Chains A and B, each alone.
Chain A
Amino acid sequence: MVGAVLGSRVATGLHTGNLLSDHALEFRRDIAATILIGAATFATLAVVAVAGAHLMGTTGATLLGGLLLVIAGTGLLLIVGMIAVVIIIGAISFRIGWDPDNVVVPVVTTSGDLLGVTSFILMVQWVGL
């Protein structure tokens, strides 16, 4: 979802020509917004996950700490990855002459799905849950 917002904004920005003007002001705004939204979303997920764990009786400190680490790490990898994908796919589609509206959002959201699952699995293994 965060990827959809970023991708949609970047596609519109590429069309209107506003994205990269003024030292890429609009693009930097979009990235800042993405980071804030991503942080808030994953913080919410962390709260829900910890609440859920409590409800299910899982309250070991190491387990909860590990859970938070997994969520934080996944969020970080995902947000950074999606921003990278947007930059790459935005540049490519513009150069090739494809309409960014048709390309950026689908590629970013699907990459986000793949990145999300992969990051999650990597974080779980790294944290050792």
Chain B
Amino acid sequence: MTKTLRIVGQALPIILLMLIGELFAGSIFGRMRHLLAATPGLIVLVPALLALRGNINTALASRLSTAVHMGLVPPDVPWDHEIRTNLLSSILLGLLMGTVAGLFAHALSVTVGAESAGMLLLGSIGGGVGLLSGIAMAPVTTKTVSIAFKRGIDPDNVVGPILLTLGDILTIVLLFVVAALLTGVGP
């Protein structure tokens, strides 16, 4: 029972704190109404980009955490060749899948007969947000894992929620910036 409570004691406070972060991301999203209305198909892209950023970084953190647990990587997660390769592939994955998500959002909109801002625009927004959020989140991911280990916290309990929330906030902000820049439309 104590071990179970330890898991709860580490994870629960972070999760409750991160809920506030998610509400913050939601409030930014709420201010994008004009931009979203002016860019048909963009809103379809949003959950996909959020999920994409979350998936890539939590998978990376999960791999790093397992590697440190098994003694393959030191707890301070230095950016050696192997780690850098991992990070680079995550960033490229974000660029590629972000673009694909944009293209899918366009195709889906067209298929159901809704308007679409176009393959080029949606693909570029998706790819741009995927790439930039990946670059920004790479050091955050490794740092979060190493800080957790250094404080004696099991990263599995806290890193997921932290990366998901920071990734969501970052993705929404970047979406705002990239979409506004590429469409010329303000909030």
User: Interface readout for A87-129 with B: 1 if CB under 8 Å, 0 if not?
Assistant: 0000000000001011111100110010000000000000000
| Segment at the B interface, from A26-34, A54-62, A65-73, A76-84 | A26-34
Closest approach, in angstroms, between the C-beta of B92 and any C-beta of chain A? 15
Q: Is the CB of B70 within 8 A of A1?
A: no
Identify B62's interface contact among A8, A32, A33, CB under 8 A: A8
**Bound-state Cα–Cα, A109 to B157, Å:** 14
- The dominant DSSP class at the A interface is helix
Q: Is the CB of A33 within 8 A of B7?
A: yes
Tell me the total A-B contact number using a CB cutoff of 8 A: 110
| Chain B residues with a Cβ under 8 A of chain A | 3-5, 7-8, 11-12, 15-16, 18-19, 47, 51, 54-55, 58-59, 61-63, 65-66, 69-70, 154-161, 164-165
Closest approach, in angstroms, between the C-beta of A17 and any C-beta of chain B? 10
Identify A4's interface contact among B16, B69, B70, B161, CB under 8 A: B161
A/B interface sample: 27 pairs, CB < 8 A: A4-B54, A4-B58, A8-B156, A8-B157, A9-B154, A11-B62, A11-B66, A11-B156, A15-B69, A15-B70, A16-B69, A29-B3, A33-B4, A36-B5, A37-B11, A40-B8, A40-B16, A41-B19, A99-B63, A101-B66, A102-B62, A102-B63, A104-B62, A105-B58, A106-B54, A106-B55, A109-B164
**Bound-state Cα–Cα, A40 to B3, Å:** 17
Q: Is the CB of A4 within 8 A of B164?
A: yes
**Bound-state Cα–Cα, A99 to B66, Å:** 11
Q: Is the CB of A5 within 8 A of B16?
A: no
Q: Is the CB of A5 within 8 A of B161?
A: yes
Closest approach, in angstroms, between the C-beta of B52 and any C-beta of chain A? 9
| Chain A residues with a Cβ under 8 A of chain B | 1-2, 4-5, 7-9, 11-12, 15-16, 29-30, 32-33, 36-37, 40-41, 44-45, 99, 101-106, 109-110, 113
Chain B residues with CB under 8 Å of A29's CB are 3-4, 7
Closest approach, in angstroms, between the C-beta of A1 and any C-beta of chain B? 4
Q: Is the CB of A9 within 8 A of B66?
A: no
Chain B residues with CB under 8 Å of A101's CB are 59, 62-63, 65-66
